[in-house]
Amino acid sequence: MSTEAKCSCQFCNGHISFPAEMAGQMVACPHCGLETKLFIPNVTKAPANNPLQNVSVEIKRGVSPFGIASLVLGVIACIFCWIPLLGLLVIPLAFIGLLLAIVGLIMAGVSKKTGFAFPVSGLIVCLLSGFIAVAITGSVAAAFAHGKQTNQEQVSNPGQQATSSAAGD
């Protein structure tokens, strides 16, 4: 009683079925007609009583385009947020980056195809740049207000006071 074996042609990868006793012989491939050597492939089977154990599956997530856009807008906002009054112009930029970060976080949570790293970092940088812009502009405005409260005026020349007081007489 012969058992049947299967192998692939070495040239066309066509499947060839043959009796196991013919292994090692050269025959013409039924698909391409070229001489190929019959062989029995080594196939190791897992034991039936031992299901796969210690199998770890690593899921790679892609990069979130919304997260990258958020991070780029946050970095641009962070560059310009240090300018005292012009820094307020980055607040809309940081707000748009904040919205993109939130959309990126939602998409990463729902689709499981993108990671959380870029949306989270974009969210943090956008929040920081908005906070820094408001804090710096507020502190500069408070310094100006404090200067006005102390009634500091420009010192004039004594000669100008004499002429202005003489003119008033």
Q: How confident is the model over 103-127, as pLDDT tens digits?
A: 999 988 888 788 888 999 999 999 9
Asked whether residue 33 falls in the same domain as residue 69, the answer is no
In the predicted structure, residue 43 carries a pLDDT above the cut 70: no
* Burial (CB count <10 Å: 0-12, 13-18, 19+), residue 104: buried
Tell me which residue range forms the domain holding 107: 65-149
Matching residue, tokens 């499981």: 112
pTM: 0.53
Distance CA 4, CA 36 (A): 17
Count the domains in the chain.
2
Q: Bigger pLDDT: 43 or 137?
A: 137
Lowest model confidence (mean pLDDT) among 70-79, 86-95, 143-152: 143-152
Asked whether residue 25 falls in the same domain as residue 101, the answer is no
What the block records as the tokens of 10 is: 């070495």
In the chain, which ranges are continuous DSSP H helix?
65-80, 90-111, 117-149, 158-168
- Which tens digits make up the pLDDT trace of 76-97? 999 988 888 788 888 999 999 9
